[in-house]
Amino acid sequence: MDEYVSYTTGKNVQEGCTLMEQVSYTQRNCTDTKKIETFLLRERTGVLGMVSGNFPYAVPMNYVWHNGSVYFHGMGSGKKENILSQNPLVCFTIYKEHGTVTDPVPCHADTAYMSVMLFGKAEKVTDSKEAAEALQKLLDKYMLKYYSNPLTSTLIEKYRSSLDGNMVSIYRITLQGMTAKENSVEPEKLFNSKTR
């Protein structure tokens, strides 16, 4: 079992979350709701973990954290769509490495990082207004002020993938649990090859 522990405080981050199994290593728990919320809003990529037959299937995804849920989109067909239609239970992991932590003892060298794991159910958004809002949030996150007009639910209903003509899918991960972990260190403790 890895060293994640439950994070269950903070209304914006965990509405509807249940406790995940506790572990004994608690030094790196992150329970700072503001820090977790900021991390989920700021980071750009997460890994969507799904269950596919005998093997897990994990895909890096752009995402947006909005109204206490993760939203992502897809082209409306393909392996991810097939897996989620059969088993919508997922784990979504967001991770940011800050560098390698030095120590006089080689075995104590470490990594500075923050990570959040979200557990829940990925469901297709069927309401065109919610889908348009989620896609607009994605555009605002990745291409702020690039497009002059906001997305509308009418555009979402009519838009089709150029690859196969399918309607683009918007998914919402409704959270059932969350864990957060960090190893935060002062910058001077990070390894810098330029000063060696």
Q: Please tell me the distance from the alpha carbon of residue 192 to that of residue 142, in angstroms, as a whole number.
A: 30
* Per-residue pLDDT tens digits for 91-138: 999 999 877 776 777 777 777 788 999 999 999 999 988 999 999 999
Ranges of residues in the chain whose predicted pLDDT is under 50: 1-16, 19, 21-23
Domain 11-125+168-184 has CATH 2.40.40.20: no
Q: Could you give the C-alpha distances from 31 to 9, 21, 28, 174, 178, in angstroms and in order? A: 7, 15, 9, 20, 11
User: What local confidence, expressed as pLDDT, does residue 191 receive?
Assistant: 74
Q: Please tell me the distance from the alpha carbon of residue 138 to that of residue 119, in angstroms, as a whole number.
A: 21
Q: Please tell me the distance from the alpha carbon of residue 178 to that of residue 4, in angstroms, as a whole number.
A: 9
Residue 2 CB partners (closer than 8 Å, separation 6+): 23
User: What local confidence, expressed as pLDDT, does residue 5 receive?
Assistant: 39
- Dihedral angle computed from the Cα positions of residues 103, 107, 110 and 116, in that order, rounded to the nearest 10 degrees: -150
User: What local confidence, expressed as pLDDT, does residue 160 receive?
Assistant: 52
pTM, full prediction? 0.79
